[in-house]
Amino acid sequence: MPCAALAQCDEAAAGAASYETATGRIRALPEFKAWANHVSSRPGVKPVIVPAMDKQQLIEGRCYWSVSAYADQVTHLHRWNTFYVSLDGKQTMVMDMEGAPISLDKWRAFPEGHAWRSGGSALYGQRPSP
């Protein structure tokens, strides 16, 4: 793994234009919209993306932004999913149950509900209708 590749994957998420583009891509996913609506229907709970928790990741020689979606329950955050968006915004992956990145298409192909539970919660892991 070349040092130059590592050096280019060290930008902070907060304030980075390419991170804002990545979060916009995730917020536009129909699965995110459905999950956000589902979470928002719970009193005192809201969906959030927290830049302080995200960073650039080197995956297969390429830089990606991690974009983590949480249910903010006031007293704590509950992670729903972590997505990886390439810096050019052309590729999106999702962290699977074992912590490895998989393609968005593979994530979507999981049996009903499986992808929604990758955050580990039955309450927020049930797949709402998009």
Task: State the DSSP string of the chain.
Answer: --HHHHHTT--BSTT-HHHHHHHHHHHTSHHHHHHHHHHHTSTT-EEEE-GGG-BEEEETTEEEEEEEEEEE-SS-EEEEEEEEEETTS--EEEE-TTS-EEEHHHHHHSSTTTGGGTTS-HHHHS----
Give me the residue spans of the domains in the chain: 3-125
Tens digit of pLDDT for each residue in 26-79?
Answer: 999 999 999 999 999 999 999 999 887 888 999 999 999 999 999 999 899 999
Tens digit of pLDDT for each residue in 85-123?
Answer: 999 999 999 998 888 999 999 999 887 554 454 444 434
